[in-house]
Amino acid sequence: MNIIKKLILVVVMANLCAFTPLAAISQTPLQDGFAAFEKKDYTEARAQLEPLSKNGNEIAQYLVGILHENGWGGFAKSSTEAFRLYILSANQDFESAYEYLADMYYFGNGTSKDFEKAFKWYAKIPDDQKNGLVLKRIGDIYDEGLGRPKNPATAVVYYQKSADKGYSLGQVSIGYMLEIGRGVDQDQVRAVSWYRKAADQGNARAQTNLGNMYETGNGVTQSYGEAAKWFRKAADQGYPRAQKNLGYFYEKGLGVPQSYSSAVAWYRKAADQGNAGAQYNLGVAYFNGNGVLRNKDQVIAWIKKAAAQDHKGAQAALKQLGVH
């Protein structure tokens, strides 16, 4: 369960206890069930909450839905049953269930994917309770036209709200919109600022984008050394685009000592994760014998993988090699 959803549970517990005398807090099955849930005693939580859920209690339905979704308390893991309970809870206007239900529609868990319904439930969350993740998802819906007409300008509004809450993916999104001028006036200096905020939180995509800005000198003083630093931070987290970029820097000696063997090692990490650019570069390394022994079979194998992902350079290379 992600940290934002854990925070929702804390709010639920606070609401349960807000007007309950201290001596009475452990006297109702609902409060006992929630207390067991908080202690991760999911078997006891189920024992207390399941009867309440069956009797229509919206808070219990929500909590038992979480048990089903995660396969806790002896339940078989079932997104379908979780969805059924979340919708029962949400239809009784239990606000904490809205995000869970929206997520089920957004990802198609336990039900068919339905972005229009996902948007409906995300939008129903009170504005002061919309967390950074929810705001980012609403932004994505507008930006990508998921169940609604595309509206990049409205997407920017939600990305900005998400970023202002400190949510790193929202910060990356507003940074990207500013970088390319989508839905907002282009401002690469501000883009760098938002990428840096997210990168400082350890977001690998932001670290890679920040590295790109340093590589090109867009919005910041050009520096291959700084670019390599940020690529490495992301590459060490297993982010394939950064691994490919760092491999290229080693191949060319940009911001790091030139090393074909290091280049190949990073290309391979990214290629094994399906990065088409890295697959092509690894195939070229085998063709030239840079960092590896020349091997025509490996050349064809890796370039074919890249070409299958519509990498134009790889497709042209196959033609030159006479491979179909």
* pLDDT exceeds cutoff 90 at 25: no
pLDDT in tens, 112-125: 999 999 999 999 99
- Distances in whole angstroms, Cα of residue 253 to Cα of each of 141, 205, 238, 258: 41, 23, 21, 4
How does the average pLDDT of the chain come out, rounded? 93
Which DSSP state fits 211? H
Cβ(132)–Cβ(170) under 8 Å? yes
- Distances in whole angstroms, Cα of residue 133 to Cα of each of 97, 103, 116, 240, 309: 15, 11, 17, 23, 30
Record the tokens describing residue 132, joined without a space. 């950074």
Q: Which of 190, 207, 197 is CA-nearest to residue 170?
A: 197
- Which DSSP string corresponds to 272-287? HTT-HHHHHHHHHHHH
The whole-angstrom separation of Cα 136 and Cα 117 is 16
The whole-angstrom separation of Cα 211 and Cα 108 is 34
pLDDT in tens, 165-217: 999 999 999 999 999 999 999 999 999 999 999 999 999 999 999 999 999 99
Q: Which of 127, 134, 198, 126 is CA-nearest to residue 169?
A: 198
The whole-angstrom separation of Cα 189 and Cα 207 is 15
The whole-angstrom separation of Cα 92 and Cα 109 is 21
The whole-angstrom separation of Cα 127 and Cα 107 is 22
* pLDDT exceeds cutoff 70 at 278: yes
pLDDT in tens, 281-316: 999 999 999 999 999 999 999 999 999 999 999 999
What end-to-end distance do the CA atoms of the chain give, in Å? 47
Q: What is the pTM of this model?
A: 0.88
pLDDT at residue number 19: 35
Domains of the chain: 1-127 (1.25.40.10), 130-237 (1.25.40.10), 240-324 (1.25.40.10)
The whole-angstrom separation of Cα 232 and Cα 199 is 12
Residues 6+ apart with CB under 8 A from 115: 105, 106, 141, 146, 147, 148
Q: Which residues of 63-89 are buried (b: 16+ CB within 10 A; e: fewer)?
A: bbbbbbbeebbebeebbebbbbbbbbb
pLDDT category of residue 18 using cuts at 50, 70 and 90: very low
* pLDDT exceeds cutoff 90 at 14: no
* pLDDT exceeds cutoff 80 at 24: no
pLDDT at residue number 8: 52
The whole-angstrom separation of Cα 166 and Cα 147 is 27
pLDDT in tens, 48-104: 999 999 999 999 999 999 999 999 999 999 999 999 999 999 999 999 999 999 999
Class of residue 147 by CB neighbours under 10 A (exposed 0-12, middle 13-18, buried 19+): middle
pLDDT at residue number 324: 76
The whole-angstrom separation of Cα 83 and Cα 19 is 30
Q: Which residues of 124-145 are buried (b: 16+ CB within 10 A; e: fewer)?
A: ebeeeebbbbbbbbbbbbbbee
pLDDT category of residue 12 using cuts at 50, 70 and 90: low
Q: With the C-alpha atoms ordered 282, 287, 292, 296, is the resulting torsion angle positive or negative?
A: positive
pLDDT category of residue 9 using cuts at 50, 70 and 90: low
